[in-house]
Amino acid sequence: MIAELTTMVRAISATLILLPTVIGMGWNIFYNNSFYLLMIQIIGCNLYSLFLFLYIAFPITLSGVTNLKEDNIFYYGPLFLEGFAFSGMFLFAFVIAVNRLTIFVFPIVNRKLFTSVNTFIISACLWIYISFMMIMNKIKGCTKLFSEEEFYFWYNCTDQNNDGYHYNDTIPLSVLFLIQMIAFKFIPLLDTIDSHRIVATTFNNLLAIVCDIASPILLLEHIFSISYEMETKNEVDVEASTIVRIICALFILIPTVIGMILHFIVMTVFYKVIIFIICICHSALCAYPINR
């Protein structure tokens, strides 16, 4: 009896909360809340993904064949938009995790970064990034399809345009540069002392190192993709192509690794050396004071 009453109370409470929310009562209050603004976009992405399963996957599950022609906009259009929803779920889930982390660990950063205006700006930047990714996938020659045999969504890249790689490379480099600018902007706002300052400085240095090695890695990936393509077309010998890849990897990776190590050593040891020199000079001045 008590369990039934508890279930009834929960159902009534959920209804009283859900109905005003669905109708739209009090939405103007939530628009000033960054958590709500992020969650509503995640919910929208999830709803569209569920709708697409109902629209494409469910009829195929019942009939075994698709009633939509693959040259029809009603087939490719929703599948293309599903890429937006799928990417949006992951990216906004990451942002909301950062939001929850900073609100407890770094409240000063949370108050400055996740204002309502900044949340709109972050959301707009993410959607622009997702749009670029989807458009570049289309330019690259990849088309999203639904497998009728295995029942999953996949990208068909058999008619891949290799020039799409060159367009795609601008995206990760731009994102890394944006993250580095945000870090340089907000890390100084942290009220860090002692060990916390070391953690913040280390994070900044690692971020700079990642940005430094991104370009060489993308260049190496280009060389490998071109060599593999030439091998498949029998334009070059396999052994010669392998030797070229090894030489290019050595010439690209060795200077990158050396620069990364030097960057880390300089940033971590430089402050200690300066402090050590200052301490020696201070001790010498104290031991032999200057008579004026």
Reported as a single tens digit per residue, the pLDDT across 122-157 is: 898 889 888 888 887 777 777 777 777 777 777 777
Tally of domains in the chain: 2
Q: What is the dihedral of CA 271, 272, 277, 282, to 10 degrees?
A: 100
- Reading the block at residue 53, the tokens are 């399963």
Check whether residue 138 and residue 106 sit in a common domain. Answer: yes
Check whether residue 154 and residue 189 sit in a common domain. Answer: no
Check whether residue 164 and residue 188 sit in a common domain. Answer: no
Contact 37, 120 (CB under 8 A): yes
Check whether residue 154 and residue 279 sit in a common domain. Answer: no
Q: Which domain holds residue 88?
A: 11-168
- Reading the block at residue 142, the tokens are 């990849």
Check whether residue 226 and residue 118 sit in a common domain. Answer: no
In a domain, 6, yes or no: no
In a domain, 147, yes or no: yes
Reported as a single tens digit per residue, the pLDDT across 177-228 is: 666 666 666 666 665 555 556 666 666 666 666 666 666 776 666 666 666 6
Q: How many residues does the chain have?
A: 292
The model's pTM: 0.54
143's enclosing H/E stretch is: strand 143-146
